[in-house]
Amino acid sequence: MVFRFHLDASARLFIIKTIQVLIMNALLYNIIFLVSLALAKPSNNSLGATCTVSSYDDVASAISSCTTINLGSFTVPAGTTLALKLKTGTTVNIQGTIKFGYQEWKGPLVQVSGKQVTINGASGKFDGEGANYWDSQGDKGKTKPKFFKISTTSSSTFNDITLKNCPHQCVSISSASDTTLSGWNIDVSAGDSAGGHNTDGFDISGSTGITIKNSVVKNQDDCVAINQGSNLVFESLTCSGGHGLSLSVGQSTENGDANTVKNVVFSDCTVKNSRNGIHIKTHKDAGTGAISDVTYKNIKLSGITNYGINVQENYANGGDSGDPLGNIPITNLNLQSVTGSMSGGSSSMSVYILCGDGGCSNWAWSGVSISSAKKSNSCNFTPSGFTC
């Protein structure tokens, strides 16, 4: 049996409008639902979510919830590390000024670890407020925190980061691989007249495949100090006020691996108003080790006060220590176009080489010319292509 309904025009219009209202309500509900999802606080399951942090208290939740993190201005509590143990592929943007409460401790103030992470300095900076710690005693005196530690990173990049007023060592890189630092500005120049000391720019140990380029360091110690590592590249660095481009090898009395540096290139770097231009020191109180395949090329020096090039195998207890020892031999040390001038007093010297027995071999130098030294060069080993 079929029932047929005959509706007049007004009834049909009512039904059509009712259906339209139901459809509009359904669409509006879906829109509200989608907007609420977009505005909701990211959860642990929000892959690719973005977090903006304006308080230290929110850092941990941002790290667990997000793979894009924007750090605004805040202060890290005294005696606390800003620990950025990041998920694989995380990007962190420094958009504000990050400071640290005062406490005498070893630090670090910041520590970053992770795989395939990217840290962008953006418009922000880290301020260590070193004047609170500086006492002209560096490693001694009051305990001073190390500033920025990069550890166990791989396939990662750190771009355009500004560090101001490091209390002690500025950047420590350890147990890292295939990591690039570019466009850094490390400024500890305020420490020149305020007791800054041992404010190394970049310290590298236990790492391989590290590139540091297009960066500026103003400090009161080594611009770069390599303790241990391999396949290290330093390009277009400008160093001022410190102790130059350095290798300081022999941190262990037992482990030969910890005293090994190989495959290192410094290129197109400028060192000015510094104690040394190039400084390679091996520790005679260390165990055995080796330095091999190190190249400095296109290095410009100016205003160097002590040594343009200083290679010494008698370093111990923070300075010269009598006769040299060849416990950490230096082989294949290549210098190409190292030029510039000295500005020191009566003891300034362009080139100083002090090798232990069998400690130096296969050095090739070309285009080495450093003027205005007050003392003649001193060498107990002469590289090929160079007249001491």
Catalytic site positions:
221, 243
Nearest of 308, 309, 374 to residue 345 by alpha carbon: 374
Nearest-Å Rg of the Cα atoms of the chain is: 29
Nearest of 263, 293, 300, 265 to residue 363 by alpha carbon: 293
The Cα 242–Cα 237 span in angstroms is 13
Q: Any alpha helices (H) in the chain, and if so which ranges?
A: 9-39, 59-65
The Cα 234–Cα 245 span in angstroms is 10
Cα torsion 237, 238, 244, 248: sign: negative
- Is the distance from CB of 349 to CB of 377 less than 8 angstroms? yes
The Cα 155–Cα 275 span in angstroms is 34
Which two tokens mark 9?
């025009």
The Cα 199–Cα 242 span in angstroms is 9
The Cα 303–Cα 172 span in angstroms is 27
Amino acid at 128: G
- Is the distance from CB of 291 to CB of 331 less than 8 angstroms? yes
Strand partners, 375: 349
For 233: left if phi > 0, alpha if psi spans -120 to 50, otherwise beta; the answer is beta
For 249: left if phi > 0, alpha if psi spans -120 to 50, otherwise beta; the answer is beta
Which two tokens mark 353?
């080489």
Nearest of 277, 288, 208 to residue 237 by alpha carbon: 277
- What lies within 8 Å, CB to CB, of 253 at 6+ separation is 285, 286, 287
